[in-house]
Amino acid sequence: MKKFIGLWFWGILLFAISSCSEDEEPAFVPEEEEEILITGESGATVVNTKDIVLGVSEDDVVFEMTSTILTTSGRVTETTLNCCAMAGINFTDNGGMLAMDTLNTVEDVVLINRGTITIHTKDLVERYKDQIQTPDDPERPYTYLRLIAMFVGTNSTIINEGVINVYFDHDPSVTSTIYVIGMNGGGNSSMINNGEIHFYGNGSVATRLRGMATFGNSISAFNNGVMTAELDICEDARMITTGGTKSNVINDGTMQMRLPGYILCMTRYEDSNLINNGVVDLTMVDLPEGYTAVGNAENPVVCAMYDPLSGGRTQMPSLVNRGRISIAIEGSERSNSVSQGYGMYCDLMGAGGEDLQVNVINDGSIEVSQSGPVDFRMAEAGFITRPAVREAACCIKLGRWNTTLRDFSQTRDLFYGQGVNMDFGGGELLLKKGEDYVDGTSYSVAPEALLYNGGKTMFRYEYSGYENFDIKAADESNVNLTWDKENNQVSLSDK
């Protein structure tokens, strides 16, 4: 059943107030199982301790929302059909259809989930499929169907201490965009996952998912728990994505994804911190036979940390990995040959992006691997300039970088450049022995070996500061590093 908390135009007051002092904000808790908890009161605290099931009842609160999103073509305004399990939002009547009331916004809301929120897409997709746009019918009223487990406006907080389970169980032949978000916050808000968020199911070619998402500024998005996604079919999947500036995106937990498509685990689009202290384990797989990729999935990417570079950005906090990142592509004869995978991915999208310098730091570990008959483009970090701005180059400042010593000139999987200008000056390469390394074996550490020129003559390839670049053993107390600087060769051996 649905539960509206607060006084709305229904003229009905339905809420339960937990014990609190007179000075505290009211905390609303569910009275029954399967209640949808939505408040229209600013300053409210809403706590779920039971089970909420979204998508199986005609009582689900479905409403219109007009919003602005960031695409590769810039910011786009769209009208969508939405449904929430927990939310801070007011509605207005738009010709018999509920719509988000943008003149009566709800702020300073705290949503806490200590129970289980379950989302099913099947019934809602079937109910509204004729109103959602498709490639063959773009004149339908709604760009896509979006289901959100926890939604708040500005100056608010979302905390998940329980479980959010999402099941993409709709008809996989659906071509409309079906979009599910675990936590969605407005500007100057915090989103914190201390529990579990899971995405399962078949999906469809235009399925999109987000663990946490926002386009607001001054956002804190922290994962201290577990976030997973395992789908058969998907277009675009991201665990934490932010479109605003001056935000913090930090993973201290575990994020695992196994699916096809466009997989960007952690992203920033403006001047925000992007830090991984935990575990990121990503695997790209093929679409099932008989399905054709659409949208972003036509150019498949899998990466842990994504940083698109374009004009309008100013300060550039470092991209920092202190945890463990594993990137894999499981290929087959049907794989898209342009698929690519990186631990960190700097994507020069538009004019002005070449004026930004990104400092990249890997104090943890990044591993990339692939299987199958296709040779995919993969590296611990990729610096890619798009063909539309091929006269420009990603401007990269190399900080500390931990990795295993190997034949970089042959593996081509440390740094991949397609239109790149890298400053090695002041940077450090900290080397350790891999499982197959034979003590004393020398490999090239020339700049051309470390930074592979994937753009050949079609894109810029520049570097500087190599004379001020340092190479050390990661474990200097137990391992000797021998550096033949004249021939740019390095070897490791036990002390």
Torsion of CA 192, 197, 203, 208, to 10 degrees: 10
Q: What is the pLDDT of residues 84-116, one digit of tens each?
A: 999 999 999 999 999 999 999 999 999 999 999
pLDDT above 90: residue 468 = yes
Q: Other CB atoms closer than 10 Å to residue 24's CB: what's the count?
A: 10
Find how far residue 471's CA is from the centre of its chain.
32
Interval 308-335 mean pLDDT: 93
Say what the pLDDT of residue 29 is. 59
pLDDT band, very low/low/confident/very high, at 11 (cuts 50, 70, 90): very low
Per the prediction, the chain carries an average pLDDT of: 93
Residue owning tokens 């991915």: 345
How big, in percent rounded to 5, are the helix, strand and coil portions of the chain? 5, 50, 45
Task: Give the three-class secondary structure for 131.
Answer: helix
Say whether pLDDT at 3 is over 60: no
Q: Give the pLDDT band (50/70/90) at residue 16.
A: very low
What band does 412 get if pLDDT is binned at 50, 70 and 90?
very high
Banded model confidence at residue 30, pLDDT cuts 50, 70, 90: low
User: How much is the pTM?
Assistant: 0.93
Residue 220 contacts residue 194 (beta carbons within 8 Å): no
Of the listed ranges 139-153, 303-317, 396-410, the one predicted with least confidence: 303-317
pLDDT of residue 10: 32
pLDDT, residue 492, reads 99
Segments of 433-484 assigned E as strands: 443-444, 451-453, 461-464, 470-473, 479-484
Average pLDDT over residues 450-475: 98
Mean pLDDT lowest for which of 21-35, 110-124, 173-187, 444-458? Answer: 21-35
Q: pLDDT value at position 13?
A: 30
Is 274's pLDDT higher than 60? yes
Q: Report the distance separating Cα 142 and Cα 481, nearest Å.
A: 61
More confident residue, 71 or 153: 153
pLDDT reported for residue 132:
98
Residue 88: beta bridge partners? 39
Residue 58 has a pLDDT of 85
Q: Classify residue 214 as exposed, middle or buried by CB count within 10 Å of its CB (0-12, 13-18, 19+).
A: buried
Higher pLDDT, 401 or 316: 401
> What residues pair up with 308 in beta bridges, in sequence order?
347
Closest CA to 118 of 76, 86, 80: 86
Q: How far apart are CA 272 and CA 320, in angstroms?
A: 12
Name the band, by pLDDT with cuts 50, 70 and 90, for residue 314: confident
